[in-house]
Amino acid sequence: MTETVNSPDLIDGVYREGAPITDTKAPAGDISGKWTTRKFEAALVNPANRRKLSVIIVGTGLAGASAGATLGEAGYQVKSFCYQDSPRRAHSIAAQGGINAAKNYKGDGDSVHRLFYDTVKGGDYRSRETNVYRLAEVSADIIDQCVAQGVPFAREYGGLLDNRSFGGVQVSRTFYARGQTGQQLLIGAYQALERQIAAGTVEMYARHEMLELVVVDGKARGIIARDMVTGEIETHLADAVVLASGGYGNVFFLSTNAMGCNVTASWRAHRKGAYFGNPCYTQIHPTCIPQTGEHQSKLTLMSESLRNDGRIWVPKNSEDCDKNPREIAEEDRDYYLERIYPGFGNLVPRDIASRQAKNMCDEGRGVGPAVDGVRRGVYLDFGDAIERLGEEAVRSKYGNLFDMYAQITGENPYEVPMRIYPAVHYTMGGLWVDYDLQSSIPGLFVTGEANFSDHGANRLGASALMQGLADGYFVLPNTIRDYLAKGPFTKIAEDDPAVAEARESVEGRVARLMSINGTRTVDSYHKALGKIMWEKCGMERTEEGLREAIEEIRALRADFWTNVRVLGSAEGLNQSLEKAGRVADFLELGELMCIDALHRRESCGGHFRAESQTEDGEALRHDDEYAYVAAWEWGGDDGAPVLHKEDLVYDFIELKQRSYK
């Protein structure tokens, strides 16, 4: 993106606006009947024809493994890809809290409609009604499926499943397996996938990375992947492609994501014509263990359940910040959430808790070690809880989390307050999809965190696992068959010009990265990008900051392509090369995130624009101007991105401003 960026016909100097788009797949009628109608209207594929149809699935987390297992079982030929050494390692495994489902097992007034309502409201009215309703509708089936697979959810003494309330929701609809719900659900989906691998319906390609999408005659027909062990560039063709490749939070370098999480599969598809929806929506989680120094490679989440009993505070006076917290008198402590939001106190939503923690540290009242001259931590204090309930009771409730904290920090949280700070956790943005989960490229479907669809501007706790499994087990298998029923598709030759072009672009890119032979490591670029993104496109964004960030990212990207150093060989395992390809894509995505954040001059959910706040400093939405999905089209290497707006129409829910005061 060079000469065109300053041309006068660009909006804000950085983007163009294209034609609006709409979802044409959701059927008409009452919201409660739409999914049933769609399933009925979607064409069927005769079982004998299914084995002639092939599907590629990239990613083996909850969305990818469940889709692979289900499509394999149905009789399609499935090829499944993951970059890890086994599909069991996908990052869904790290989710702690739980999975929501409208089972109403507690008889406390839950229903499909209430889960739907809570999710739309939690997303600050920036998600699509139809998709969210369907998510709530199939949620109950997910629990049945997982239990049948042997997922060991927590049970009551009577043998029935236990539920808890989660993330400030007023009903108990969260199913859980201690603090390891994600692990247990993923292992269930992984086992179902392995069963299909054994049955021969799924072919598994572990330690493989998708590096390009193959588009023939406007349709997604395959991928170019690199075998990360041999370095071989492989062509894989199919009738349809599913991306279940997760989120892109690692654009910030430090995040709660696994080290390997990346945007490459999505970004390569975006460059081939798939629109990218709401890229700037990032969820920041308030309860992570703070950064301790420059050596740090990742941030670790502490379960949000800690906020139920812990009290959050910082010293009133900045002179007290390096004191032993136990020596700071009660009247010298500022329990700022309880002070500002007396109604909700320490249980305010994630975005508010996060932003206020940042405000306290920016004011100079943060605690813990200083990184880059600023202390970025606030206390999460269990002193009162231990006094009230006793140490044993606290241990039985939170013992494993306290042990984890002690392991990482070397401090005993029973004696000194924990320190926490917000961190990047989940990205609500992703490739734009219609009701069928199909992207703007026919034949390319996108599921789970990789799509933009179900969480709006902010994700409700325990909803990510629900969406991953809903998409993979129940939604995609029903919608992709409508597409596959149009097959059989013309066979593509491996030397088709479109295939050859895709392959050559991958080979050229690998060769280019290997030949730059500059002086800077890949990680140093990634860290530099992460700092720009966190400071200027993180918890709080300003017009000025975002404009600076765009310029800085462009300069960094130009430097990367002339000065990065990748050693070793492209033939064989080369982790620097893997990282270099991913960081190159993050450098392009980062700019788009800033452009998206710049154009959205309102605050909503995980997007706080400093220029758009109420007199009390709360996020201020502008529904009259911004109640739309921003779907960005790639504008070419030298062009500006093109914005397509999908208006969000709320027929079944009334838009309201949030208030937690």
Partner 1 sequence: MRISLKIWRQDGPTDEGRMVDYQLDDVSEDSSFLEMLDLLNEQLIAREEEPVAFDSDCREGICGMCGVVINGQAHGPERTTTCQLHMRSFDDGDEIIIEPWRADPFPVIKDLCVDRSSFDRIIQAGGFISANTGSAPDAHATPVPKEDADRAFMAAECIGCGACVAACPNAAGMLFMGAKVTHLGELPQGQPEREARVLAMTEQHDLEGFGGCTNLGECTRACPKGIPLNVISQLNADYRHAGYGGRG
Catalytic residue positions? 350
Output the six-digit token pair for 272. Answer: 């081939």
Calculate helix-pair angle for 62-74, 476-484, nearest 10 degrees. 50
Cα–Cα dist 27/92, whole Å: 31
Q: Give CA separation, 307 vs 37, 121, 170, 274, 346, in Å.
A: 42, 21, 16, 39, 6
**Closer residue to partner 1, CB minimum distance, 271 or 527:** 527
DSSP letters along 609-660, please?
BTTSB-TTS-B---HHHH-EEEEEEP--TTS--EEEEEE---SSS-------
**What phi and psi values does residue 144 have, to the nearest 5 degrees?**
-60, -45
SS3 169: coil
Query: Minimum CB separation from partner 1 for residue 107, in Å?
Result: 13
**DSSP conformation class of 302:** -
DSSP letters along 383-433, please?
HHHHHHH-HHHHHHHHHHHHHHHHHHHS--TTTS-EEEEEEEEEE--EE--
- Put residue 216 in one of left, alpha, beta given phi > 0 → left and psi -120 to 50 → alpha: beta
Q: Is 184 exposed, middle or buried (0-12, 13-18, 19+ CB in 10 A)?
A: buried
Q: With DSSP H G I counted as helix, E B as strand and the rest as coil, what are the percentages for the chain, rounded to 5?
A: 40, 20, 40
Query: Minimum CB separation from partner 1 for residue 473, in Å?
Result: 5
Query: Minimum CB separation from partner 1 for residue 227, in Å?
Result: 11
**Closer residue to partner 1, CB minimum distance, 178 or 339:** 178
Compute CA 620 distance to the chain's CA centroid, rounded to the nearest angstrom.
Answer: 24
- Give the start-end residues of each E strand in 157-228: 174-175, 202-205, 208-216, 219-227
Query: Minimum CB separation from partner 1 for residue 61, in Å?
Result: 11
Cα–Cα dist 8/639, whole Å: 13
Q: Give CA separation, 256 vs 167, 182, 252, 290, 292, in Å.
A: 18, 14, 10, 11, 15
**Closer residue to partner 1, CB minimum distance, 48 or 148:** 148
**Closer residue to partner 1, CB minimum distance, 291 or 612:** 291
Q: Where are the alpha helices (DSSP H) in 459-542?
A: 464-469, 476-484, 497-516, 522-537
Query: Minimum CB separation from partner 1 for residue 538, in Å?
Result: 21
Query: Minimum CB separation from partner 1 for residue 356, in Å?
Result: 25
**DSSP conformation class of 472:** I
**Closer residue to partner 1, CB minimum distance, 168 or 188:** 188
Closest CA to 235 of 249, 254, 222, 216: 222
Residue with tokens 């992709």: 480
**What phi and psi values does residue 391 have, to the nearest 5 degrees?**
-65, -35
**Closer residue to partner 1, CB minimum distance, 203 or 332:** 203
Query: Minimum CB separation from partner 1 for residue 229, in Å?
Result: 6
**Closer residue to partner 1, CB minimum distance, 18 or 75:** 75
**Closer residue to partner 1, CB minimum distance, 274 or 583:** 583
Cα–Cα dist 564/495, whole Å: 33
**What phi and psi values does residue 298 have, to the nearest 5 degrees?**
-160, 165
**DSSP conformation class of 318:** G
**Closer residue to partner 1, CB minimum distance, 84 or 453:** 84
Question: Which residues make beta-bridge pairs with 288?
Answer: 301, 421
Give the count of beta carbons closer than 10 Å to the beta carbon of residue 631. 25
Cα–Cα dist 64/87, whole Å: 9
Contact 65, 503 (CB under 8 A): no
Query: Minimum CB separation from partner 1 for residue 63, in Å?
Result: 13
**Closer residue to partner 1, CB minimum distance, 255 or 346:** 255
Closest CA to 658 of 91, 23, 76, 121: 121
Query: Minimum CB separation from partner 1 for residue 348, in Å?
Result: 25
Query: Minimum CB separation from partner 1 for residue 288, in Å?
Result: 11
**Closer residue to partner 1, CB minimum distance, 91 or 236:** 91
Query: Minimum CB separation from partner 1 for residue 567, in Å?
Result: 5
**Closer residue to partner 1, CB minimum distance, 36 or 575:** 575
Q: Give CA separation, 310 vs 303, 380, 413, 417, in Å.
A: 12, 5, 11, 9
Query: Minimum CB separation from partner 1 for residue 380, in Å?
Result: 18
Output the six-digit token pair for 199. Answer: 């049955």
